[in-house]
Structure 1
Amino acid sequence: MKISLDWLRTLIPTDKPAEEIGKLLTGSGLEVEGIEELESVPGGLRGVVLGTVLTREKHPDADKLSVTTVDVGDGTIRQIVCGAPNVAAGQRVVVALDGAVLHPSEGEPFKIKKSKIRGLASEGMICAEDEIGLGQSHAGIMVLTTDLPNGTPAAEYFGLGSDSVFEIGLTPNRADAASHYGVARELRALLRHPCHLPDISDFHAPAAAAPISVTIEDAAAAPRYAGLLLENVQVGPSPEWLQRRLRSIGLSPINNVVDVTNFVLHELGQPLHAFDADQISGNQIRVKRAAEGEKFTTLDGTERTLRVEDLVIADAHGTPMALAGVFGGKTSGVNEATTRVFLESAYFAPAVVRKTGQTHQLKTDASFRFERGTDPNMVLMGLKRAALLLQEVAGATVAAPVVDEYPAHIGHAAVRLRLPRVEKLVGQFIAPERIRQILTDLDILISEELTDEAGHAEWMLSVPPHKVDVTREADVIEEILRIYGYNHVALRPHNSASYLAQFPNPDPEIIRQNTARLLSGQGFSEIITNSITNSLYFEKEGETDETLVRLLNFNSAELNVMRPSLLPSGLEVIRHNVNRRQRDLKLYEFGKAYRQKAGGQYEEHNKLVIYLTGNTAAETWQQKSDKSSFHQLAGAVQQVLASLGFPQPTSQPVQHPYLAGGLTLLAQNQPVAQLGAVSTAILKRLDVSQPVWYAELDWDWLMRKYKNALVARELPKFPEVRRDLSLVVDKTVTFDQLQQIARRTEKKLLQQVNVFDVYEGENLGQGKKSYSVSFLLQDPTQTLTDQAIDSVMNRLIQQFEQQAGAVIRR
């Protein structure tokens, strides 16, 4: 369903921007799936202003061209070559400036540029109406009569505005919001602004008897049927304002009579149908069931076989003229020769219309609303509103009083609301006065205030019929919560109820299992090693490590301390496998490390350690296998950190007693992982014969700071752009430093920084290396222009040069 903001503001005055209104409606259950910006004229006449012709002279080299000077209010007098025969000094004109893009009435858009015409410079264009899409005339330039100053935007002079159109995904239960007035009622409750129906006080009908009578033969299927006879109707095109309203919501204008019925349908939610009154045989309308097997040709020219379940609008002889609430007939519809119109406004039972639509595979804007339930109290309002509009746009006159048959009256629904029940279902106390206010704004009246045996407040409510889905207490509470705001209900971790999922604190064991699955999915195998190990692994020659946690009663000299690091026990596993020809290993372990503090106290820390050694995969005839690398290890560590909510750690050189080199990764300025190559001294001490890459993560800290890494984001609507740079820097400059410079320089558009090549060679110079870096740029609100992209890249280049001493390879 499309809703025009400009149209909406005629019913509820608000200066709220479209984006804010969209969020409010979505929060209340009317999901805004998109907002489209519409312009009265393509391009919105941007770059087109009012000006004054100061001088006009004949072009020296062209008989049909004039050389003018024009003042456009910016202090610069422009010379413009003009080919219009009617241009003259002193005229107020429309001027397209350099850079403006014009959308003519016919042909493709074109851009205004400074140019030379027959040897003379021209700095813009004086416009005719067809050149800016405001008409078809090309006889000459537009000459204006106005006191507006030069430089005034032409769009302001012509009263051209833009409109925002909401695409609302209307759920079946929200029939009350299937119109502009229905959405305005919703905003009335959300904004606490008054909204109003269109003024119909000027409607008057003669007192004479109606020449066309109405008989309802099935009151259950048609509880209310009203009609009005209009004469002197001049069928023709609708005025521009009416056509613009319909086009804004995706409807094509047909003629003024049909357009008015469509306009009222989308304004008030009340479907209407216009009959050619001269085609109503016997001057009688009969609302009846069809005869089984009866033939009827609808407006689309299709002959349909009716069933007895179908409700039809028939003439005095019982001949169908329309399928009630669904589709009109071919012979009774309004055409160019029509001068007398019988206007129908009714309320039909939703189930009847739904069944007819399904039987004949017909879906219309009218049936869409009737099937869900319209407002029986809007029947006369819609009829009178349409009559006044037809008087305005088609010259119609009201020829008879309104016929209103209402044999099966539909009243307000009575619903009991227990205030303690509101708090129980919502999960939060809402003050009774706030509840009263919300109900009043939703047209739900409090007919009686009671107190139950326990002294709790109860209200008897009167729910209007347009709230078709509000029939019980839970429905009323849902209405209260919608307007109160779901986002105002605090869901704390200890809250729980039978209808709400629990929100417990993160379970460390579940997080550990998820991390284990992540690593196992990358080909790593989990190991579990002994927490008791050999003290010789940790004691330097001739020195005793006083921080070791020694066992007082050990059975073996090789198992005499609690391990201060998981590395030696993991290297024992690697040695065992390598000695048995299993050289390609990817391992991980969750375990504890133990230390003795000064004063004799002990501490233990949970760690996650990862090992890589050997080749990445077995060699095959298709490809050779590469050696395991630091980058593979770093990639696995970063995936673990990202899964725990730390996607972009910073880094610094590692300082670890067992690593020969590598990085320390920091999150929130805290060292959380150390990774690199195990030193040859340690490998030799444990008799491991091949290089090993090792990573150690501070699992305790990660669990304390864990945050759910699953963040839902709207899919991007605009494309990303990639730009590459080749940077020559000192060997001491790391890619992480370059990445941090880039992210500090551009925080909005820069989405990703990646290095895809590193090169070192004599041609670069002593102590130099080259990084080839890609940058992904994206704006979530618009398509990036070349100017914006160049601006970002120039700033990045400048900062790389200043902060990293980089030389850009061209």
Structure 2
Amino acid sequence: MKISYNWLRELININETPEVCAKLLTDCGLEVDSIESNGIDDNYLKGVIVAEVITKEKHPDADKLSVTTVNAGTGELLQVVCGAPNVDAGQKVFLATIGTVLKDSDGNAFTIKKSKIRGVESFGMICAEDELGLGKSHAGIMVLAATAKIGTTVKDYFNLQEDTAFEIGLTPNRGDAASHYGIAKDLYAAYKSMRPDVKDIMLKLRDVSAFSVDKYENPIKVEIDDNDGCKRYSGLTIRNVEVKESPLWLKTKIKSIGLNPINNIVDITNFILFELGQPLHAFDIAKIEGGKIVVRKANKDEKMITLDEVERSFAGTETLICNASKPMCIGGIFGGLDAGISNETKDVFIESAYFNPTSIRKTSKQLGIKTDSAYRFERGTDPEITVYALKLAAILIKECTGGYIDSDIVDVYKEKIPDYTIQFRYNKLSQVIGFEIDKSEVKNILNNLAIKITKETDDELLLEVPRFKYDVEREIDVIEEILRIYNYNKIPLLDNLNTKIINPTKDDTRIKEAVSNYLSYNGFNEAMNNSLTSSKVYAKFNIDDNLVPIVNPLSEDLNVLRKDLLFCSLETILYNLNRKINNIKIYEFGKIYSLVNAEGKTNLEKYKEETCLAISITGNQRQELWNKPVQKSNFFDVKEHALNVLARCGIEGIKEDYTEDSTLFENILTLKVQNNLEIGFIATVKNSVLKHYDINQPVHYAIIYWEKVFQISANKKIKFKELSKFQSVKRDLSLLIDKHISFSELKEMALKTERKLLKEVSLFDVYEGKNLDANKKSYSLRFILLDENKTLTDKDIEQTMNKLIEEYKKQYNAVLR
């Protein structure tokens, strides 16, 4: 948000430099991101002075040109050729003398030089307002008052001053500082805290005592039917206005904060908005049917065309400003096209209201409209300033348009919005910040922040916090207000560091870090995706049940919380594929969400939030090398890493079960532990899903239910044992078995059959095809045998292997090859 230093000083009589003011604002929580000069360039317009046209004659060789002589106060008359139709002898004008630098309509600088125009010498240029950057009109030269003093520079004539603009990074909770006056209030409090010896500094609201009603004719009436959405509505009728360009002082104000002037009415409403933080809206009375304003809720599916020429459809929860028959404005957010101010407007109705911040925020998000008005209303404005803002606007409109005020201000305020009442304890302040601030200084800070002390004891204060401080509702908020004005930089650093010793609780940070390190060391990149996603992709695959919707989504693409990590992983893969990165290995620790009980009384009962680890592989196993063949990634690559992750977490006794294909996956291998607890699965993503994302290569995927894994890991006790002094023995078997039998079944059976000596079973070869029955396959298994107490003999080994072979024959009809 831009703040003009000159404008600020009109509201607080501070005599410090812009740099000192910027530091004060930053120290009290209004961080000044940048400071820039915003005034008149010393080189620009330097040679433009007031001159008097002495003579005017027709150009001898051009019908539309005049040859003039002007007195610029130099002691001799200058001959100037002028093309303006309104130039005449006796006028006071602005003359750009030779050497003056001006700017064209595109902002490019050019220099006035001695020239010949159709054979006649010209020693300067008589200027129109657009040529000086003082307006848009090029209909003729600027004709000044007869009292203008010859030789006066344009800068001195208009009192154009150097200015400085502060760019302030306003935090979302500081709606009270979204104006020059709001900034001035904080600057006042901070300066009084820094310089308590300075007694004459004060805040200055502009005087509105000149406000008076001119006539009592036909004022606009106001009705509020939506008191929840609009707590206070003030309005004023002004007639016989002339909509035109704003005067220079007003345009200068508007430009100083980076806005473009539009017309006098709109510029005045913007001036009030950025001075006081109170949004105003101007209606053309000719378009207010029935002569009354009705504030009501929208009807469901009711429509209105807004100022941006977009037709808006309403859900029935929005607050609308209507005439007797139809809506004219989305209350506090955006005006309607049909009721706005135009150059033909003669009578205006000015609105100054207080709208419910929650209602404004919801409507703004729902309709996707962001405006300066909505920005302030959704953060909370001052309900007590609406009438003052109207009076100031009325005075300025009369001054700038020549209109008159018709009848008193209409002010509908059914129930006064009370201030916040907060109990404040001195010992709580000391407890939070670690040292004591003198009680008198605390009270001074509160008074300087306009927080009233209504009751006082030695230990505590009873406070009334004005409603414009919308975010100060609790004692801790008051402490924050005191600290930021006191200045955080003044908090002393103590020699002793005090802390509480508490029993450590188990968390998954360290094991997560270990898993992340393992995956990263093995060529994986960590992905972090938004938990918000679109419901459309779930609907596409008919899995949109139990989704958790967002009440006021930012867009249709972010309208639900994700209930798995797959689609986010595929979006990440697609993003990389589109950038020619084809070999991709990614993992993500992320939360997923689902609706588990719609009848639940609390959110904890209704919804489930769960942390998962997703692992995805696609493309080649490694980058192409001259001495190594290219190998495509496959299901077993992701399986290897998933099982290694579980092993790193200390998970043992994993049972592997192949299950039927689902909507999204094929070759699904479910991973279970004791009590048949499912801790994840490994699968290949179906082509139909990949096609939806325009992914043309296989994607292999694993999901690990992290909270279950961590719970098992956290409860697992680590036991250390001595390494065996005896050597292990390897033996291999090749078995011909039925095709449906999995390796996990063979492994599980072997470990049950020989519990003492058998330490490990692995699969090192699979064969299907030629010379084998279509329903058969060959598995080559490797067994690791070890006796912890002695060296195995041939007899021991033979007995063990025979026992395993017999069990394989008996349970699986296996044939030894």
Q: TM-score, normalised by structure 2?
A: 0.51
Bigger drift between 442-451 and 421-430 goes to 421-430
TM-superposed deviation, 1:233: 1.8
- SS of 2:252's partner is helix
Which aligned pairs between 1:164-243 and structure 2 lie closer than 5 A?
A: 164-192=164-192, 193-205=201-213, 211-243=219-251
**What is the aligned partner in structure 2 of residue 372 from structure 1?**
379
**What is the aligned partner in structure 1 of residue 265 from structure 2?**
257
- Tell me the alpha carbon deviations over residues 225-282 of structure 1, each in whole angstroms, 9 at most, x when there is no partner: 1111111122222222212211221222222222211111111111111112222222
**What is the aligned partner in structure 1 of residue 23 from structure 2?**
23
Unaligned stretches of 5+ in structure 1?
A: 53-63, 452-456, 500-810
Residue correspondences, number? 468
Report if aligned partners of 1:84, 1:141 keep a CA contact under 8 Å in 2. Answer: no
Letter matched to residue 245 of structure 1: K
Once residues 301 and 281 of structure 2 are traced to their aligned partners in structure 1, the CA distance between those partners, rounded to angstroms, is 25
The verdict on how the C-alpha distance between 1:427 and 1:279 changes in structure 2, with shifts beyond 3 A counting, is same
The verdict on how the C-alpha distance between 1:17 and 1:137 changes in structure 2, with shifts beyond 3 A counting, is farther
1:429 counterpart (426, 436, 451): 436
Report if aligned partners of 1:210, 1:401 keep a CA contact under 8 Å in 2. Answer: no
- SS of 2:364's partner is helix
- Tell me the alpha carbon deviations over residues 616-675 of structure 1, each in whole angstroms, 9 at most, x when there is no partner: xxxxxxxxxxxxxxxxxxxxxxxxxxxxxxxxxxxxxxxxxxxxxxxxxxxxxxxxxxxx
TM-superposed deviation, 1:291: 0.8
Which aligned pairs between 1:570-585 and structure 2 lie closer than 5 A?
A: none
**What is the aligned partner in structure 2 of residue 773 from structure 1?**
none
- SS of 2:462's partner is strand
Letter matched to residue 324 of structure 2: A
**What is the aligned partner in structure 1 of residue 319 from structure 2?**
311
Once residues 92 and 283 of structure 1 are traced to their aligned partners in structure 2, the CA distance between those partners, rounded to angstroms, is 46
- Tell me the alpha carbon deviations over residues 125-166 of structure 1, each in whole angstroms, 9 at most, x when there is no partner: 866446866786999999998889x9x976345522221111
**What is the aligned partner in structure 2 of residue 549 from structure 1?**
none
Once residues 322 and 225 of structure 2 are traced to their aligned partners in structure 1, the CA distance between those partners, rounded to angstroms, is 11
The verdict on how the C-alpha distance between 1:255 and 1:495 changes in structure 2, with shifts beyond 3 A counting, is same
Letter matched to residue 226 of structure 1: S
Once residues 339 and 422 of structure 2 are traced to their aligned partners in structure 1, the CA distance between those partners, rounded to angstroms, is 43
Once residues 383 and 392 of structure 1 are traced to their aligned partners in structure 2, the CA distance between those partners, rounded to angstroms, is 14
Report if aligned partners of 1:129, 1:137 keep a CA contact under 8 Å in 2. Answer: no
The verdict on how the C-alpha distance between 1:419 and 1:233 changes in structure 2, with shifts beyond 3 A counting, is same
Once residues 372 and 243 of structure 1 are traced to their aligned partners in structure 2, the CA distance between those partners, rounded to angstroms, is 28
The verdict on how the C-alpha distance between 1:83 and 1:243 changes in structure 2, with shifts beyond 3 A counting, is closer
Once residues 202 and 459 of structure 1 are traced to their aligned partners in structure 2, the CA distance between those partners, rounded to angstroms, is 39
Report if aligned partners of 2:423, 2:475 keep a CA contact under 8 Å in 1. Answer: yes
Letter matched to residue 253 of structure 1: P
Bigger drift between 33-42 and 225-234 goes to 33-42
**What is the aligned partner in structure 2 of residue 361 from structure 1?**
368
Letter matched to residue 313 of structure 2: T
- SS of 1:257's partner is helix
The verdict on how the C-alpha distance between 1:95 and 1:71 changes in structure 2, with shifts beyond 3 A counting, is farther
Report if aligned partners of 2:254, 2:271 keep a CA contact under 8 Å in 1. Answer: yes
**What is the aligned partner in structure 1 of residue 490 from structure 2?**
488
TM-superposed deviation, 1:498: 7.2
- SS of 1:29's partner is coil
Report if aligned partners of 2:243, 2:263 keep a CA contact under 8 Å in 1. Answer: yes
TM-superposed deviation, 1:207: 8.8
TM-superposed deviation, 1:339: 1.7
2:390 counterpart (359, 370, 383): 383
TM-superposed deviation, 1:324: 0.7
Report if aligned partners of 1:274, 1:334 keep a CA contact under 8 Å in 2. Answer: yes
Which aligned pairs between 1:506-585 and structure 2 lie closer than 5 A?
A: none
Letter matched to residue 388 of structure 1: I
- SS of 2:261's partner is coil
The verdict on how the C-alpha distance between 1:215 and 1:158 changes in structure 2, with shifts beyond 3 A counting, is closer
Letter matched to residue 288 of structure 2: I
Report if aligned partners of 2:215, 2:405 keep a CA contact under 8 Å in 1. Answer: no
TM-superposed deviation, 1:66: 13
Once residues 108 and 352 of structure 1 are traced to their aligned partners in structure 2, the CA distance between those partners, rounded to angstroms, is 46
The verdict on how the C-alpha distance between 1:492 and 1:110 changes in structure 2, with shifts beyond 3 A counting, is farther
Letter matched to residue 430 of structure 1: I
The verdict on how the C-alpha distance between 1:417 and 1:143 changes in structure 2, with shifts beyond 3 A counting, is closer
Once residues 194 and 372 of structure 1 are traced to their aligned partners in structure 2, the CA distance between those partners, rounded to angstroms, is 26
Once residues 304 and 459 of structure 1 are traced to their aligned partners in structure 2, the CA distance between those partners, rounded to angstroms, is 50
- SS of 1:30's partner is coil
The verdict on how the C-alpha distance between 1:145 and 1:407 changes in structure 2, with shifts beyond 3 A counting, is closer
2:340 counterpart (333, 348, 362): 333
**What is the aligned partner in structure 1 of residue 421 from structure 2?**
414
Which aligned pairs between 1:89-238 and structure 2 lie closer than 5 A?
A: 101-103=101-103, 108-110=108-110, 128-129=126-127, 155-156=155-156, 158-192=158-192, 193-205=201-213, 211-238=219-246
1:442 counterpart (449, 472, 481): 449
The verdict on how the C-alpha distance between 1:308 and 1:105 changes in structure 2, with shifts beyond 3 A counting, is closer
Which aligned pairs between 1:611-760 and structure 2 lie closer than 5 A?
A: none
The verdict on how the C-alpha distance between 1:294 and 1:138 changes in structure 2, with shifts beyond 3 A counting, is closer
- SS of 1:400's partner is strand
The verdict on how the C-alpha distance between 1:84 and 1:473 changes in structure 2, with shifts beyond 3 A counting, is same
Report if aligned partners of 1:129, 1:142 keep a CA contact under 8 Å in 2. Answer: no
Letter matched to residue 369 of structure 2: L
Report if aligned partners of 1:375, 1:466 keep a CA contact under 8 Å in 2. Answer: yes
- SS of 1:7's partner is helix
- Tell me the alpha carbon deviations over residues 35-55 of structure 1, each in whole angstroms, 9 at most, x when there is no partner: 221234684445778999xxx
Once residues 10 and 260 of structure 2 are traced to their aligned partners in structure 1, the CA distance between those partners, rounded to angstroms, is 21
TM-superposed deviation, 1:468: 0.6
TM-superposed deviation, 1:367: 0.5
Unaligned stretches of 5+ in structure 2?
A: 53-65, 193-200, 502-817
TM-superposed deviation, 1:427: 2.9
**What is the aligned partner in structure 2 of residue 575 from structure 1?**
none
Q: Would you say 1:278 and 2:280 are equivalent positions?
A: no
The verdict on how the C-alpha distance between 1:368 and 1:255 changes in structure 2, with shifts beyond 3 A counting, is same
Once residues 224 and 314 of structure 2 are traced to their aligned partners in structure 1, the CA distance between those partners, rounded to angstroms, is 19
- SS of 1:438's partner is helix
TM-superposed deviation, 1:479: 0.9
**What is the aligned partner in structure 1 of residue 786 from structure 2?**
none
Q: TM-score, normalised by structure 1?
A: 0.52
**What is the aligned partner in structure 2 of residue 747 from structure 1?**
none
The verdict on how the C-alpha distance between 1:51 and 1:207 changes in structure 2, with shifts beyond 3 A counting, is closer
The verdict on how the C-alpha distance between 1:225 and 1:252 changes in structure 2, with shifts beyond 3 A counting, is same
2:307 counterpart (284, 299, 305): 299
TM-superposed deviation, 1:337: 2.3
Once residues 252 and 81 of structure 1 are traced to their aligned partners in structure 2, the CA distance between those partners, rounded to angstroms, is 36
TM-superposed deviation, 1:103: 3.9
Report if aligned partners of 2:155, 2:161 keep a CA contact under 8 Å in 1. Answer: yes
Once residues 143 and 348 of structure 2 are traced to their aligned partners in structure 1, the CA distance between those partners, rounded to angstroms, is 44
Once residues 167 and 128 of structure 1 are traced to their aligned partners in structure 2, the CA distance between those partners, rounded to angstroms, is 37
Once residues 360 and 103 of structure 2 are traced to their aligned partners in structure 1, the CA distance between those partners, rounded to angstroms, is 45
- SS of 1:301's partner is coil
